[in-house]
Amino acid sequence: MCVLGLGLIGGSLLRCLDAHPAANGSAAAAAGTPRAFGWNRSPATVDAARAAGHDASADLSATLERARDEDALVVVGVPMPAVAPVLAEIARIHPGAQLTDVVSVKGPVRDAVRAAGLDAGYVGSHPMAGTNSTGWSATDPELFAGSRWVITSDGGGAESTWRRVAALGSSTGSRLVALPSDEHDRAVARISHLPHVLAEALAVAGREGGDAALALGAGSFRDGTRVAGTPPDLVRAICEPNAAALEVVLAEAVEELGASLEQLRRTGSLGDLVDRGSAGRAAFEARQGEAGGAPLDITIGAQGWLDAAVAAGRRGQEISVAF
């Protein structure tokens, strides 16, 4: 594995693959998950990774040449604004790369991969894991354990790439889910990107209350604003590339709040927002507990395997890949 970008996600991936090269069962071992090496633009990050015993470089050209020579799966882990320049280098040095990414939005990455002429070897992915911290110092080799790892169904890549991406996700201890890129983006707009926006608004409201309000803030304010502690540039890089999907759900949220405000003004009641919100939370907890039922066993290359995997993903069901 060649990991490009050693921030929270890419760096945690490098550490995970080095610590558990065939983690969590025989599937990844059978797939031959190798030791990883990585690249980062910042020499300070590279020095920190090397000091921790990892194979890292600040030379992108040399790293991509090595990936080409060693037939490594290339994992793009840079923020969305840096994706196109990195893809341009991959196209120049290793145009036949088998390629995936761990960026939080999938449609724009897919489109950038196609524009770079790399789609024949590309299958997108997104580990649904993270914290409000960033950089190498925040990395954790156990970050992905038990999380869901989305693999996209429309990247254009061959079955061999899909198999390698599935092996990568499995080797981290993640649970695999298959979805088309656009459906992934609509889903994460609701459960990731909108929460970032609402957390920012809540944090602004708390600060506007002054020192007394901030001093009284406790569990609900702390939990509701946790992701507002994410660096602003990273929030923009996560949310803004998904603007079309985010616009839809943000408009829905504004409408919900506006209706609740009008009800409060007229009657002193919040209306049914609280009841429907409680039901929504209960549905989330139930789905997380069920995990969509037992994983659906998938054999890559079998007739209808990808359609079956996507149908499972739309049900919220994980897949188990036979290697």
The strand ranges marked E within the chain are 2-4, 37-39, 56-57, 74-76, 99-101, 125-127, 148-152, 175-179, 296-299, 319-322
Please name the fold of domain 2-179+293-322. Answer: Rossmann fold (3.40.50)
Residue 167, pLDDT score: 94
Q: Which residues is 100 bridged to in the sheet?
A: 75
Exposed e or buried b per residue across 73-87, where buried means at least 16 C-beta atoms within 10 angstroms of its C-beta: bbbbbbbbebbbebb
> CATH topology for 185-271?
6-phosphogluconate dehydrogenase C-terminal fold (1.10.3660)
Per-residue model confidence as pLDDT tens digits over 198-235 = 999 999 999 999 999 999 999 999 999 999 999 999 89
165 touches 18 (CB < 8 A): no
Average pLDDT estimate for 276-303? 87
Residue 317 amino acid letter: Q
Given pLDDT bands bounded at 50, 70 and 90, which one contains residue 291? low
Tokens of 197: 């926006």
pLDDT reported for residue 227: 92
The domain spans of the chain are 2-179+293-322, 185-271
Q: Confidence band (pLDDT; 50, 70, 90) for 268?
A: very high
pLDDT for residue 30 is more than 50: no
Residue 25: its pLDDT value, please? 41
Q: Which one-letter DSSP state was computed for residue 204? A: H
β-pair partners for 176 = 149, 319
- Distance from CA of residue 55 to its chain's centroid? 23
pLDDT at 101 over 70: yes
Rounded CA separation 278/268 (Å): 19
pTM above 0.85, yes or no: yes
Q: Is the dihedral of CA 116, 118, 124, 126 positive or negative?
A: negative
Whether pLDDT at 23 is above 50: no
117-123: average pLDDT: 96
Distance of alpha carbon 54 from alpha carbon 14, whole angstroms? 8
- Put the strands of the sheet holding 319-322 in their side by side order: 125-127, 148-152, 175-179, 319-322, 296-299
Q: Is the pLDDT of residue 42 over 90?
A: yes
Rg (CA), the chain: 21
pLDDT, residue 109, reads 96
pLDDT of residue 292: 60
